[in-house]
Structure 1
């Protein structure tokens, strides 16, 4: 019981401090409306994105620009609109996406 209470207090403290996991950030910024971690929805899965850009040194910067400005033609005819996220949030999201396996 002590562990459950402690875990709950830690989660509450993290939430109160504004700490969110990258996945929670993706949900909050509506990324998950078009993308999923493991399956294609409107856009590619995050695992597919990570596989496509694996080993590319400029992948993070390239994908951050796609998140911020939008893009089209890389994954088919459906364009990705620009997203209203900060530069810092875009980097957080892209690092998380590129870490998917």
Structure 2
């Protein structure tokens, strides 16, 4: 039983929610976004709702994260996050689309 719990913990830790929350903190995403309320940019929960049901949601959001953009959520543009690796942008997109949980 302890071995199973340890394996589950390691699996969660390597791909779990806190890893992506830390990634968001590390890249200053939380300066403009929050999980459940609009700050400068939209709440992550609102982003998840907007992309819900779209087959290419993760890829589209990852692209928006890296390239930045304007006009989707109001007049303030999101700056490009070109320093992110494709894997980190995809991880952040998956986390946001899961409701940032």
TM-score of the two chains, using structure 1 as the length reference = 0.78
Moved over 2 A (4+): none
Q: Deviations over 1:58-79 (max 9, x none)?
A: 1111111111110000000100
Aligned length: 84
Q: Say whether 1:66 aligns with 2:64.
A: yes
Look at both structures and tell me which one has the larger radius of gyration over its CA atoms.
1
Out of 27, 39, 45, the position equivalent to 2:25 is 27
Show structure 2 runs of 5+ residues with no match.
Answer: 1-8
For 1:76, the equivalent position in structure 2 comes to 74
- Please give the per-residue CA displacement for 1:51-94, whole angstroms capped at 9, x wherever unaligned: 11101001111111111110000000100010121100000000
Q: What is the TM-score when the length of structure 2 is the normalising length?
A: 0.78
